[in-house]
Structure 1
Amino acid sequence: MKYYLIAGEASGDLHGAFLMKAILRNDPQAQFRFWGGDKMKAVGGTLVKHYRDLAFMGIVEVVMNLRTIRKNFSFCKKELLSYQPDVVILIDYPGFNLRMARFAHENGLKVVFYISPTIWAWKQSRIKIIKKYVDRMMVILPFEKEFYARLGYQADFVGHPLLDELKEEKQVPKEVFLRENHLSEKPVVAVLPGSREQEIKKILPVMMAAAKEFPEYQFVAAGVKSVSPAVYSDFNIPVVFDQTHALLRASVAAMVASGTATLETALLNVPQVVGYKLNILTYFIGKMLVHLRFISLVNLIMDKEVVQELIQFDFTAQNLAKALHDLLENESRRKEILAQYAQMREKLGSEGASERAAAVVAEVLQQ
C-alpha cells in the first residue's frame, strides 16, 4: 500500500516515525512518502518537505509567511494527485492538515487524522470540516473522545504515543550523559525553550536570566538540530542536541516551554515550571479566541494546576526563579508533583498507541 503522511513539527516527526514502524509490521511492503523530519526519514521512504521549513508560530508570523504557506499548499496538492496514495495520514499540524483533508477527500482519497486539532480549546467550528472530510480521527488525550462524542463524532482514542516512545528508547546512564557532554557533577536543571527558532528567541533569555540566581546548579539546554546552533550561542549555557530525554533523566528540575515537552517532562518524573511568551499581538488575539484554564498538557489532562504556569506578562525572570526555587528546595512540593504525575499517567491509559493507530489505518484501507 502507498501511504502519504504529513507532519509539520518535531513532535509530529517523532510520532509519525513510530506510526510508520507499526504500519510496516502490518504491511511490510508499505511505501511511504511524507512531510516530516529526520526520524521519519530514518524509517524509510521519501522525505518531501522537512518540518523546519513549515513551522510558523503565531497568528502574526503566519500572516507574514502567507506566500510561503500558499506555495506549500499548492505543492502538496500536486503531490497528492501525482502520488495517488491509498491513504493520507495527517499528523497534528491542523492549520495546514485540515485544508489538505478537504482536498484529499474531494479527490477521492481516504483520510485519517492522527492527533486531533485542539478544537476543545478553540475553533470548535472545525468539527464541521472533520465530520465531512476525515474518515477517522485518532485522539491521544483521554478527554478528547468524550468531547468529540458530545459533538456527534466518533473518534478513536488510541492512547498517547509518548508512552511507547519512552519505553523503547535506549536509556543513557546519568554519569555517561554528563561525561559525554562535558558537564560537571553539579545537579542539573533542564532548560527546554521550545523547538522553533521564534519561540526560543523569546523564551530562552528569560530562562537564562532566572538561572543566574542558582550558581550551585548547572543549567543545560535541550537543543534541536533543526534550529541553527547560532540561536543558542548568545547564552552562556551548555546545549545538548536531540538528547532531551537523556537530559531530563539526569535532571532534578526543569524549566519548560508549553507543548509536548511538558508531558515528556512529567512522564520522566521531573518537577517542572512551565513558561511561555508570544508576540504581543498574537497573545491578545489568542486571548480573545482561546478559552482554557491551562496551557500545559499536564494540567489539561488533570484538569487542575499540577505544575505552575507563567504566561506572557507573568513570564519574568523573577517569577521563574521563585517558582524554580520552590521546586528545588521544597521537598513536600516535589513529592506532591510526582504523586500527581503518577495519577496523570494512569489517565493516559496503556502503552501501544502506535500499534492501535496502525490498526485503525488498516481498517480504513480495508473499507
Structure 2
Amino acid sequence: MKYYIIAGEASGDLHASNLMKSILKKDSNAEFRFWGGDLMTKVAGFSPVKHYKDLAFMGFLEVAKNLKTILKNIKFCKQDIVNYKPDVVVLVDYPGFNLRIAEFAKNSGIKVIYYISPQLWAWKEGRVEKIKNFVDEMLVILPFEKDFYRKHQVDAHFVGHPLLDAISDLPEIDIRKFKSENNLNEKEIIALLPGSREQEVAKMLELMLSVRTFFADYQFVIAGAPSLPKEFYQKYVDENVHFVSNKTYDLLRVSKAALVTSGTATLETALLNIPEVVCYRSSRISYEIGKRVVKNIKYISLVNLIMDQEVVTELIQSELNTENLVRNLKRILEGDSRQKMLSDFKLLRKKLGGKGASDHAADVIING
C-alpha cells in the first residue's frame, strides 16, 4: 500500500515514526510519502516533502502573519496527494491543516485515517462534523475520547497512548554516568521543564528557581528545549543550577521530582514515574480568553484529565507562587503524598492501555 502521512509538529513526528515502523512490520510492500521530521526521515530513509519546522506557526498573531504561506502549503499538499495517488492518507493531530486535507482527500475518493485526535473535547467541538463527514477511521489515544466521539455518533478506535511505546523502548540508564557526562554533582536532582518558547521559558524559570534556597540538599537541572540556543539558559546556571539539552527523558529518569509547565510533558513525566508539580501562567488577557474558549474542562494537565481526579497538583496563574511551589514540592519529595502519587501513576498507565498503540493503529490502517 501507498501511505501519505502528515505530521506538523515534533510530537507528531515521534508518534508517526513509530507508526511507520509498525506499518513496515505488517506491510512489507509499504511505500511512504510524508510531511514530518527527522524521526520519520530515519524510518523512511529519505527526507519529508516538508519539514514540520517550516510548518509550526503558533498563536493567532503568528498564524495571521503567515497565512499566505499556510494557504500555499495547503494548495501544494493537495496537488502532491493527487500526484502521488496514495491508497490512504494518514493525518496525525495538527488539526488546522489536516482537517482541510481530510476534506480534500475524502472528496477525491481517498481513504482518510486520523491518528491522534485534535482536542475537540476542550474547544472547537463543532469540528466534530468535519470528522464525521471526511474521516473514515478516527484513532484516539485518550480513553475518554472514545466516549466523546460516541456522543457525536462517531465510532472511534481507542488504540492506547503512543508515549507508552516510546518510553518502553528506552534503555537502562546509569545515574552516575549521566551525572558525570553532564557535569552534575552528587546531590539528588529536581528537574525543571519550563516549556519550549522563549517568553514562556523565561517566565517559568524565574518562578521555578525562586524555590531553590529552600532545597539546598538538591541540585536543579533545566531541561533545555531544542528550539532555544544553549546561550539563552546560561544566565540561569550557577553552582547548583545546571542545564542539559535534548535529554529530557534521561533527565527525568534520574530525578527525584519535577516542576513541569503544563502540556504533554506532564504526561511524559508521570509515565516515567517521576512525581511532579504542574505549573501554568499566561498573561491575564490570554487566560481570560482561554477560560471562555475552553469548555467543560476541570483540569489543565493530561494526567488529571485522564484520571478524572487531581493526581498531580496544578498551580495556575496567581496560585503559581514561591510559597505554593515550596509546599507542594516538599510533599512529593518524601512521605505519603509521594507514594500516593506513584501509586496513581500505575493506575494511569493501566488506564492508557499499555504498550502497543502503534501496532494497534497500524492494524486498523492496513486492515480497516
Q: TM-score, normalised by structure 2?
A: 0.91
Alignment correspondent of 1:269: 273
For residues 277-292 of structure 1, what are the structure 2 equivalents within 5 Å? 277-291=281-295, 292=297
Q: What is the distance in 1 between the residues matched to 2:202 and 2:77?
A: 30
For residues 17-96 of structure 1, what are the structure 2 equivalents within 5 Å? 17-44=17-44, 45-96=46-97
How far off its partner does 1:99 sit? 1.9
Alignment correspondent of 1:112: 113
Q: What is the distance in 2 between the residues matched to 1:269 and 1:316?
A: 25
Q: What is the distance in 2 between the residues matched to 1:214 and 1:82?
A: 60
How far off its partner does 1:16 sit? 1.0
Q: Which moved more, 1:104-113 or 1:144-153?
A: 104-113
What amino acid is aligned across from residue 284 of structure 1 in structure 2?
E
**Residue 306, structure 1, aligned to residue 311, structure 2:** yes
For residues 206-225 of structure 1, what are the structure 2 equivalents within 5 Å? 206-225=207-226
**DSSP 3-state at the match of 1:113:** strand
What amino acid is aligned across from residue 194 of structure 1 in structure 2?
G
Q: What is the distance in 1 between the residues matched to 2:329 and 2:178?
A: 23
Alignment correspondent of 1:132: 133
Provide closer, same or farther for how the CA distance between residues 76 and 193 of structure 1 changes in structure 2, counting only shifts above 3 A: farther
Contact 1:60 1:282 survives alignment (8 Å): no
Q: What is the distance in 1 between the residues matched to 2:105 and 2:146?
A: 24
Provide the aligned C-alpha RMSD in A.
Answer: 2.1
How far off its partner does 1:126 sit? 1.0
What amino acid is aligned across from residue 341 of structure 2 in structure 1?
I
How far off its partner does 1:318 sit? 4.0
Q: Which moved more, 1:251-260 or 1:229-238?
A: 229-238
How far off its partner does 1:131 sit? 0.4
Contact 1:122 1:289 survives alignment (8 Å): yes
Q: Which moved more, 1:108-117 or 1:238-247?
A: 238-247
What amino acid is aligned across from residue 59 of structure 2 in structure 1?
G
**DSSP 3-state at the match of 1:20:** helix
Alignment correspondent of 1:250: 254
**DSSP 3-state at the match of 2:50:** strand
Alignment correspondent of 1:352: 356
Alignment correspondent of 1:315: 320
> Deviations 1:116-145 (Å, cap 9, x if unpaired)?
111111111111000001111000111111
Q: What is the distance in 2 between the residues matched to 1:283 and 1:63?
A: 20
> Deviations 1:240-299 (Å, cap 9, x if unpaired)?
222222111100000112222111111111110111233544322211110211011110
How far off its partner does 1:97 sit? 1.6
Unaligned ranges ≥5, structure 1: none
Fraction of identical pairs, as percent: 53
Q: Which moved more, 1:342-351 or 1:79-88?
A: 79-88
Provide closer, same or farther for how the CA distance between residues 11 and 56 of structure 1 changes in structure 2, counting only shifts above 3 A: same
Provide closer, same or farther for how the CA distance between residues 52 and 219 of structure 1 changes in structure 2, counting only shifts above 3 A: farther
Alignment correspondent of 2:15: 15
Alignment correspondent of 2:263: 259
Q: How many residues align?
A: 363
Q: What is the distance in 2 between the residues matched to 1:211 and 1:53?
A: 38
Contact 1:13 1:38 survives alignment (8 Å): yes
> Deviations 1:143-170 (Å, cap 9, x if unpaired)?
1112211111100110111222211122
Q: What is the distance in 2 between the residues matched to 1:280 and 1:354?
A: 39
**DSSP 3-state at the match of 1:270:** coil
**DSSP 3-state at the match of 2:153:** coil
Provide closer, same or farther for how the CA distance between residues 203 and 294 of structure 1 changes in structure 2, counting only shifts above 3 A: same
Alignment correspondent of 2:245: 241
Provide closer, same or farther for how the CA distance between residues 112 and 199 of structure 1 changes in structure 2, counting only shifts above 3 A: farther
Contact 1:145 1:156 survives alignment (8 Å): yes
